[in-house]
Structure 1
Amino acid sequence: MPRTTPPEPARHIVIAGQAVAYQLRRSQRRTIGLSIDHRGLRIGAPTRARIGDIENLIHEHGQWVLDKLAAWRDRPAQGKLEINDGTVVFALGELLTVAFTDVGRSRWQFGPGTIYLRPDATHSASELLEKALREKARTVFAERLAIHAPRLGVGQPPLRLSSARTRWGSCSHHGGIALNWRLVLMPLAIVDYVVCHELAHLKEMNHSPRFWSVVEQLCPDWKARRLELRQLARQIPHF
């Protein structure tokens, strides 16, 4: 199997006037490949392939890319996901395989590419997975707030996890920020966009042009990330 490098930060390209995010992963492969799934446009490319050549190929297949992304976006919302031994979920853009275990006392434990769950008669696998992901979400979201708040010249605000059906984040007039725990099921770049969006409300408690200029200060490609958030939102599983 060709040796691959970790995926690069999300890139963006404009196709027929539409901003499209794509994830690039390089390896020792010989050709450039395009694929689209619920995570969006993904590109596999040779290690030394030039960005210009990669994006020329994307443009050559531009209508196909737009059609496939639209098809994913318009699919029915993800239904309830049954959690079994071997179920795969995406957390922060990475594959995470569920593995049942009866070893140890912890109800759950994260390992490389794996989350170990110890369900029993009183704790279902779905319940444990949600609790584990909420714990992961709280840690990661707090870390992202700690990174981005100083860039805006504000203190790190109090964090609350939410389970809102239609809102990914909110900022109270008292300065507290709530983030939907299900954001942990999206790539980190999307988490950062929502974090930056809510932090910007500490400066502008509205959605005026001044607010969006603050967002852009923290997240220059916010438009593409917001589009990607909308594209992925309908595919987030519930369990």
Structure 2
Amino acid sequence: MKLLRHSQPDPNQLTLQLDFFTPTPLETTQDSPPPPLLQQDHAPAPELKQQAPLPPMSPPIGRPADGMRRIQLGEHHLDYALLRSKRRSIGFLISDEGLRVTAPKWVTLGEIENAIREKQRWIFTKLNERRERSARRLQPQMQWRDGATLPYLGQDITLRIRANQSSGIAYDEGTLELTVGLPADAGEQQLKDRVQGWLQARAKETFAARLPIYAEKLGVTYQSFALSSATTQWGSCTADGRIRLNWRLMHFSLPLIDYVIAHELSHLREMNHSPRFWATVQSIFPEFETAKRALRDSAPETLPIF
């Protein structure tokens, strides 16, 4: 999330945006406090509490790649890149390349590996999340044809095309079918345009119904709302109460839509992303962490391309 601020903030220009997806490159970081300066080079590994098994990881094949190190963690091998820096703590970063550890120059290799052992559950969890996200990116894109499925409000609905009908589109909640009337010579883009128009109309209705609910809970008043087609943000809020919400949110379940709405309206109380802001969000949407994580983990490649 980014705060766009000018040197002299204008109430009509100060805008806070909720990122559409995790910024590229996708990175997850975690810090570990530095070991004491006088700690021995080969301090014993800390005793781990009994926990559920670590997530499964495919063992590395062969020797580590150039510039990589390997550590044994129980039955698992873990390859990682080590970067020395002037920072004061040991940092862990998960990206598409795997684990990178950044450590002060004075910290020994033994101390670094002890820190990895302490954080191994977090590391393996994040590596598996990254692997699953990459697998979703490889899934085939939706084919725009009769019988294709489309995500709508967290469910897959089925497209039914009726040729020789110049217009008309109807959704059956019972059968989860969206029937689209098209001329016999219509192309794929006409189908996309018709479905996109329907989704945007439903988005207007849904957002208009949900915004007042959370505005009342917060005791705030927004000036207006409009649909957004941004490729980088789910929503935005200006200091004078102008809300923009991405119509593609209609692909997700209602709780995720409500989270974005609660997030943007909370900026009318706290125009920042401080602890007080997140406390405000939590006061009207207690499960915000789960929704926030679900949106963050959604790969753009899994959504239909219009």
The alignment's TM-score, normalised by the length of structure 2, stands at: 0.53
- Residue 225 of structure 1: aligned partner: 291
- Residue 238 of structure 1: aligned partner: 305
Q: What whole-Å deviation, never above 9, does each CA across 1:205-225 have from its counterpart, x for those lacking one?
A: 111121111111111121221
- Residue 148 of structure 2: aligned partner: 87
1:135 aligns with 2:196: no
1:72 aligns with 2:132: yes
SS in 1 for 2:233: coil
Change (3 A) 1:233 1:200: farther
Identity of aligned residues (%): 33
- Residue 234 of structure 2: aligned partner: 168
- Residue 115 of structure 1: aligned partner: 178
Residue segments in structure 2 that go unaligned for 5+ positions in a row:
1-50, 58-124
Q: What whole-Å deviation, never above 9, does each CA across 1:13-68 have from its counterpart, x for those lacking one?
A: xxxxxxxxxxxxxxxxxxxxxxxxxxxxxxxxxxxxxxxxxxxxxx9676259576
- Residue 97 of structure 1: aligned partner: 158
Q: Distance in 2 between matches of 1:124 and 1:105?
A: 11
SS in 1 for 2:143: coil
SS in 1 for 2:240: coil
Q: Distance in 2 between matches of 1:189 and 1:125?
A: 28
| Structure 1 position 70, deviation (Å) | 3.5
Higher alpha-carbon deviation: 116-125 or 198-207: 116-125
Amino acid at match of 1:107: G
Q: Distance in 2 between matches of 1:172 and 1:79?
A: 38
Change (3 A) 1:198 1:110: same
1:177 aligns with 2:238: no
| Structure 1 position 106, deviation (Å) | 4.5
| Structure 1 position 115, deviation (Å) | 0.8
SS in 2 for 1:74: helix
- Residue 195 of structure 1: aligned partner: 261
Greater Cα radius of gyration, structure 1 or 2: 2
Q: What whole-Å deviation, never above 9, does each CA across 1:130-176 have from its counterpart, x for those lacking one?
A: 11111111111111112211111123542200010110000122201
More helix per residue: 1
Q: Distance in 1 between matches of 2:53 and 2:177?
A: 35
Higher alpha-carbon deviation: 188-197 or 71-80: 71-80
Change (3 A) 1:134 1:80: farther
- Residue 282 of structure 2: aligned partner: 216
Higher alpha-carbon deviation: 150-159 or 68-77: 68-77
Amino acid at match of 1:218: I
SS in 1 for 2:305: coil
SS in 1 for 2:292: helix
- Residue 20 of structure 1: aligned partner: none
SS in 1 for 2:297: helix
- Residue 52 of structure 1: aligned partner: none
| Structure 1 position 186, deviation (Å) | 1.1
| Structure 1 position 108, deviation (Å) | 1.4
Alignment of 1:139-158 (within 5 A): 139-155=205-221, 157-158=223-224
Q: What whole-Å deviation, never above 9, does each CA across 1:92-123 have from its counterpart, x for those lacking one?
A: 11221100125877531111201111123467
Q: Distance in 2 between matches of 1:159 and 1:104?
A: 34
1:206 aligns with 2:267: no
Residue segments in structure 1 that go unaligned for 5+ positions in a row:
1-58
Matched-pair contact (CA < 8 Å) for 1:83–1:126: yes
Q: Distance in 2 between matches of 1:80 and 1:141?
A: 27
Amino acid at match of 1:230: R
Change (3 A) 1:77 1:217: farther
Q: Distance in 1 between matches of 2:267 and 2:238?
A: 9
Matched-pair contact (CA < 8 Å) for 2:164–2:182: no
Matched-pair contact (CA < 8 Å) for 2:165–2:182: no
